[in-house]
Amino acid sequence: MLRFVVRRLGQTIVTLLAASFLVFVLVESSPGTVARKMLGPFASTEQVQMLYESLHLDDPLMLRYVRWLGVLTGVVADPLGDPALKLGFRDQRGERYFGNFGFSTQMKQPVSDVLWERLGNSLLLAALAVAVIIPLALAMGMVAAINEGSVVDRAVTVLGTVLASVPEFASGVILVSILVVTLGWLPGTSPLLPSGRWPVYIQFILPVAVLALFVTAYVARFVRTAFVEVLATPYIRTAILKGLPPRSVIFGHAFRNAMIAPFTVILLQVNWLLSGVVVTEVVFAYPGIGRLLLEAALFGDIAVIEAATLVAVFLATLTQFIGDIGYMLLNPRIRL
Amino acid sequence: MSERDKTHPYLKSLYAQLESRRIGRRDFLRTATLLGMSAGAAYSIAGISPGLISSALAQTPRKGGTLRIAARLGDIKDPHTYSWGQGAFIRQSLEYLTLTGIDNVTRPLLLEKWEASPDLKTWTLRIRRDAKWHSGRPLIADDVIWNLKRALDPKTGSATVGLMAGYLLERYDTGEVDDKGKAKFSRRLWDANAIEKVDDYTVRLNAKVPNLAVPEHLFHHQLFMLDPADGGEFKVGANFTGSYQLVSYEQGKRAVMQARPSYWGGAPHVQTLEFLDLGDNASAAMAALAAGQIDAWRAVDNSSLDAVKTLKDVNVYEAQTANTGAVRVRPEAKPFDDPRVRKAMRLAIDCKSVLDLGIAGLGSVGEHHLVSKSHPDYGPIPALQYDPGAAKKLLAEAGYPNGIDSEVYLKSAPAWESQVVQSMVEQWREAGIRIKMNPVPSTQYWEVWKKVPVGFTDWNHRPLGIMLLGLCFRTGASWNESGYSNPQFDRLLIEAEGKLDINERKAAMGKLQTILLEDGPIIQPVFRSIFSAYHKRVKNFTMHPTNYYWYKDVWLET
């Protein structure tokens, strides 16, 4: 077990390094320089060139990457924080500390000032969505599987297929036009600030609903398939023939075995909920890490892109790790 | 010297021209105000009502309340380098020396008045005696000079340099060399006395060439007056002269401003302004407006317009503007080096149909020279008629009987730009001009806009046609994205800029416009209207053609 954890940790670090380097190369190859973006379209070429040099954008790629690593680990200070540059970049935490993601060139403030709050918001959104998705998907999937072939089963399957094929940008707009514009029951955006007559907690309903609609239907179909398979196995037949009550057959015998496949799917979805909710966050102006990443990517704000990527990769490996532990608990035949 | 003697000598002639109907009332208004006549006097002489006082004033404004506005809240540290978005927000707090109103007439704001010398080279700016900083200190000449000099210093990075370089700055060799060994050039004031302090409340601009539009330039979107003590930085707690005080600022989230009771222009009606950052997504702003989370969405895009109009508690405001976009080619390379090819590209476009298809008729047709009929200096010349047959013939004459192929760069947002280009591309195809569309994110576009062979660039509304011609087509101008260079055009342009007589100026403009029709590098099919949406409880709002907005006169109904 300990060996497993150590090995997994090693793999994670290698993955993080590889991902961060790839992002550096990709941002480098996209046209348009950060200096131009900072100064806007109307600045002269000379002005852009001056800023370009003071941002150290003309240093070789490898040098900038290694320097970025040094800043992150707290070995060196971010050169952008040099007061002589007059960029106005200052970090209250000090010049050197572990986990320093540097300065955002778009927001002109330390990445750490925005990252953690945004990440917290996204985690909250994901947690709320998961809290809705899991019970709902399990219930739908199990009911459908137990009544396989019935009207209920058909209804769940059809509904699931329809909902899982409506992309979030469409379902978001549809829900808004019905619940916000026509009925006026809910607020249309979720900036997580008291706005108008809407308290903050009500602003979670629509984004969570959009995420839940999409994912629940998808997971429910997996749950159904897995349950149908398990319910057809000889040991379940034996259990039923022994005269065990249905509740005991489902929860005592079928549940654990049937959960292995859906568990993987749920973990993958959790991972997606944490880093891939860009569309939902943008549609509802939700201040999460997805929207942050999108805006940073459009601007070419490398410090923010790197930070968000590292967080996403880390969360992905973390959910994978939890998944492995979970398999072991669900299926004792698996040894780590 | 008495007050009377200080009035510009040309005003008398201008008045005579108005009397004899040689010039229109709008022409009189604009020129007279630029030469230093007060807008009120000019309006009463011209005998027209300013049309600015809306019917809402008939009701008694209510004090108090909170106005919530959707706005992008980026970095606000350096006002002299703001791009459009931030300026829109901070204009409630920081002020300009002048203000060009919704009627295209420029008035003094922090100035009390200005005077121009007969040769239009010397401009005397007189500062309001009652304009006070929030700290209680009066605004003085040293403040104004500090701000002008800072904005005109290339190191600051302000676009003011591009605007005023022609008459206040000179290019010089810095003595340094770049990596390739080429001499580095920069710009500085053309004369040590170019910005001169006369007394505590008077500043004089000594220009090297005449320019009539100086007061309009002082309304440049970055030319805010900051307290020198703040070192060019704006933040919560910084000094300001405007009607609202910034009390909290959370970048990317929310900003709050409170009314300043001691504002020199009278305390504003609305107590609190709250700005919410909802990102760039139009559906978020639309939904927030529908749910009453915001009262104001100031830049409604065409694609959301129909939806916004269905909201029952919302008023949609329209401003007809000279806001436009144009495809421009670079005449340096084949096939665009041949003027016949460029003219063929204009002949092949049916502007009316671009107006209908591209922007759903929400605007007016363009005439391929950026000058709009609404510009006071529009030269009355016949428009180029749509004629795809003639276009094909010209192409064949130029040696391209099988047509030409190229690629147009454009911004992927806002949507109207792609739609306009799309409809142009379809029409060109019929004339054998095969152009592929290459949309790129806007930040990337601004990196290449002056380099690509074919590009589509949008141009914000300006009160004068000649301002755009000078910015876009003068040889070597910093925004001359096409690299267009025509000595005859340059000569006529300088002539036109120095012309005070409106009819002579219009005639000169007509010649410039004709050159652009025959030889110019742009194809400009439409001018567009812009829209904003406000909740019905917001009273006394007027929309400015540049979409600048001030909330000091607005009030909220309960």
If one counts every other C-beta atom within 10 angstroms of the C-beta of residue B320, the result is 17
Indicate the pLDDT class of residue A101, thresholds 50, 70 and 90: confident
Per DSSP, A198 falls in state B
Query: Which of A57, A168, A189 would you mutate first to test chain B, the one with the most B CBs within 10 A?
Result: A189
Distance from CA of A323 to the nearest CA of B (A): 35
Contacts of A30 in chain B (CB under 8 A): 444
Q: Tell me A196's DSSP state.
A: T
Whole-number pLDDT of residue B54: 45
Bridge partner list, B127 = B111
Predicted pLDDT of residue B55: 46
Beta strand residue intervals within chain A, DSSP E? 103-104, 109-110
Q: Which residues pair with B533 in a beta bridge?
A: B297, B316
Closest by alpha carbon to A11, among A328, A316, A308? Answer: A316
Q: Do A39 and B254 touch (CB under 8 A)?
A: no
Q: Which DSSP string do the residues of A96-132 spell out, in sequence order? A: --TT---EETTTTEEHHHHHHHHHHHHHHHHHHHHHH
What is the reported pLDDT for B524?
96
Contact B251 A283 (CB under 8 A): no
Contact of A262 with A140, CB cutoff 8 Å: no
Whether A10 contacts chain B with CB within 8 A: no
Which of A23, A5, A11 lies closest to A304 in space, CA to CA?
A23
- Stated length of chain A: 336
Q: Smallest Cβ distance to A188: which of B74, B254, B293?
A: B293
Using one digit for the tens of pLDDT, what is the confidence trace for A268-319? Answer: 888 778 766 888 888 888 888 888 888 888 777 888 888 988 888 888 888 8
Q: Of A131 and A322, which is predicted with more confidence?
A: A131
Q: Does A94 touch chain B (CB under 8 A)?
A: no
Q: Do B287 and A42 lie within an 8 Å CB cutoff?
A: no
Say whether residue B288 is in contact with chain A using an 8 A CB cutoff. yes
- Backbone CA torsion sign across B277, B279, B285, B288: negative
Asked if B185 and A46 come within 8 Å (Cβ–Cβ), the reply is yes
Chain A residue numbers touching B253 (CB-CB < 8 A): 191, 193, 287
- CA angle centred on A322, ends A316 and A323, rounded to 5°: 85
Residue A32: what pLDDT? 60
Given a contact cutoff of 8 angstroms between Cβ atoms, the answer to whether B134 and B225 are in contact is no
Q: Say whether B478 and A44 touch across the interface (CB within 8 A).
A: yes
Q: How many helices (H) and strands (E) does chain A have?
A: 15, 2
Angle at B89 between CA B87 and CA B93, to 5 degrees: 90
Report the gap between the CA of A21 and the closest CA in chain B (Å): 22
Chain B residue with CA closest to A88: the answer is B77
Q: Report chain B residues whose CB lies below 8 A from the CB of A279.
A: none
Strands B66-70 and B296-300, by their bridges, are parallel
**Is A313 in CB contact (< 8 Å) with chain B?**
no
The pair of structure tokens assigned to B442 is: 């806007």
Q: How far apart are CA B428 and CA B82, in angstroms?
A: 37
Report which residue type is found at B196: E
A83: closest CA of chain B, how far (Å): 14
* Whether the model pTM is above 0.90: no
Q: Which of B446, B157, B276 is nearest to A88 (CA)?
A: B157
Of B81, B92, B361, B114, the C-alpha closest to B220 is B81
Tell me which residue of B287, B275, B530 sits closest to B414, measured CA to CA: B530
Q: State the complex-level ipTM.
A: 0.75
Q: Which residues of chain B have pLDDT under 70?
A: 1-6, 48-58, 83-88, 178-179, 443
Give the span between the Cα atoms of A144 and A152, in whole angstroms: 6
On average, the pLDDT of chain A sits at: 83
Are A189 and A178 contacting, i.e. CB atoms less than 8 angstroms apart? Answer: no
Answer yes or no: do B278 and A181 touch at CB < 8 A: no
B433 C-beta neighbours (distance < 10 Å), count: 25
Q: Residues of B numbered 134-173 whose beta carbons fall under 8 angstroms of chain A's beta carbons: which are they?
A: 154-155, 157, 159, 161-162
Residue B275 pLDDT: 92
Tell me what pLDDT residue A27 has: 76
Q: How far apart are CA B290 and CA A182, in angstroms?
A: 9
Please judge whether A181 and B289 are an interchain contact, meaning their C-beta atoms are less than 8 angstroms apart: no
Q: What is the mean pLDDT of residues A89-102?
A: 82
The shortest C-alpha distance from B539 to chain A (Å) reads 18
Report the 10 Å Cβ neighbour count for B181.
6
Question: B389 — contact with chain A (CB < 8 Å)?
Answer: no
Q: Confirm if B226 and B147 have CB atoms less than 8 A apart.
A: yes
Is residue A234 less than 8 Å (CB to CB) from chain B? no
pLDDT at residue A30, as a whole number: 65
First to last CA, chain B: 53
**CATH number of A113-335: 3.50.50.60, 3.40.109.10, 1.10.3720.10, 3.40.50.2000?**
1.10.3720.10
C-alpha neighbours within 13 Å on the C-beta side of residue A259: 20
Inform me whether the C-beta atom of residue A247 falls under 8 Å from chain B C-beta atoms: no
The C-alpha atoms of residue B168 and residue B117 are separated, in whole angstroms, by 16
Q: What is the pLDDT of residue A275?
A: 63
Question: How far is A46 from B38, CA to CA, in rounded Å?
Answer: 39
Beta strands in B241-386 (DSSP E): 244-250, 254-259, 272-276, 296-300, 314-329, 363-365
Of B279, B291, B293, the CB nearest to A291: B279
Nearest to A189 among B81, B178, B293 (CB): B293
Provide the chain B residues 82-121 that lie in CB contact (below 8 A) with chain A: 83
Amino acid identity of A68?
W
B283 contacts A109? CB cut-off 8 A: no
Kindly write down the DSSP assignment for every residue of B154-206, as one continuous string. GGG--THHHHHHHHHEEEEEEEEE-TTSPEEEEEEESSTTSEEEEETTEEEEE
**Cα separation, A208 vs B520, whole angstroms:** 55
Residue A242 has pLDDT above 60, yes or no: yes
* pLDDT at residue A276, rounded to an integer: 60
User: Is A41 in Cβ contact with B251 (below 8 Å)?
Assistant: no
Q: Could you tell me if A295 lies within 8 Å of chain B, comparing CB atoms?
A: yes
> Cα(A128)–Cα(A122) distance, rounded to whole angstroms?
10
Using DSSP bridges, classify how beta strands B195-199 and B244-250 pair: parallel, antiparallel or unpaired.
Answer: unpaired
Q: Distance, in angstroms, between B387 CA and closest chain A CA?
A: 35
Chain B contact for A88, CB < 8 A? yes
Mutation site for A-interface testing, chosen from B169, B217, B303, B446 by largest number of A Cβ within 10 Å? B446
Instruction: State the nearest Cα–Cα gap between B291 and chain A, in angstroms.
Output: 5
- Token pair for B449: 């806009």
A156: pLDDT strictly greater than 90: no
Can the peptide bond before residue A332 be classed as cis, meaning omega within 30 degrees of 0? no
| Spatial distance between the Cα atoms of B453 and B101, rounded to a whole number of angstroms | 37
Of the candidates B13, B16, B38, the one whose C-alpha atom is nearest the C-alpha of residue B215 is B38
The model's confidence at residue A36, banded by pLDDT at 50, 70 and 90, is: low
Q: Within chain B, how many helices (H) and strands (E) appear?
A: 18, 21
- Check if B174 contacts A (Cβ < 8 Å): no
Closest residue to B77, CB basis, from A32, A37, A88 = A88
CA atoms within 13 A on the CB side of B21: 0
Phi, psi of B551 (to 5 degrees): -105, 10
Contact between chains at B254 and A191 (C-beta distance less than 8 A): yes
From chain A, the residues in CB contact with B447 under 8 A are 31-33, 36-37
Using CA of residue B153, residue B157, residue B162, residue B163, what is the dihedral sign? negative
Domain boundaries, chain A: 2-105, 113-335
Q: Are A313 and A307 in contact (CB under 8 A)?
A: no
- Over residues A158-185, the pLDDT tens digits come to 888 888 888 888 888 888 888 888 888 8
Residue B541 half-sphere exposure toward CB, CA atoms < 13 A = 29
Region of B547 (left: φ > 0; alpha: ψ -120 to 50; beta: rest) is left
Q: Which residues of A touch B446 (CB under 8 A)?
A: 32, 36-37, 40-41
| B77 lies within 8 A of chain A by CB | yes
CA distance B258 to chain A (A): 17
User: What DSSP assignment string belongs to B202-229?
Assistant: EEEEE-SS--TTHHHHTT-TT-----GG
Contact assignment for B440 to A31 by CB distance below 8 Å:
yes
The answer to whether B286 faces chain A, any CB pair under 8 Å, is yes
Q: Which amino acid is at A255?
A: F
Residue B318 touches partner A, C-beta closer than 8 Å? no
Task: Give the whole-angstrom CA distance, residue B406 versus residue B453.
Answer: 8
- The residue type of A239 is A
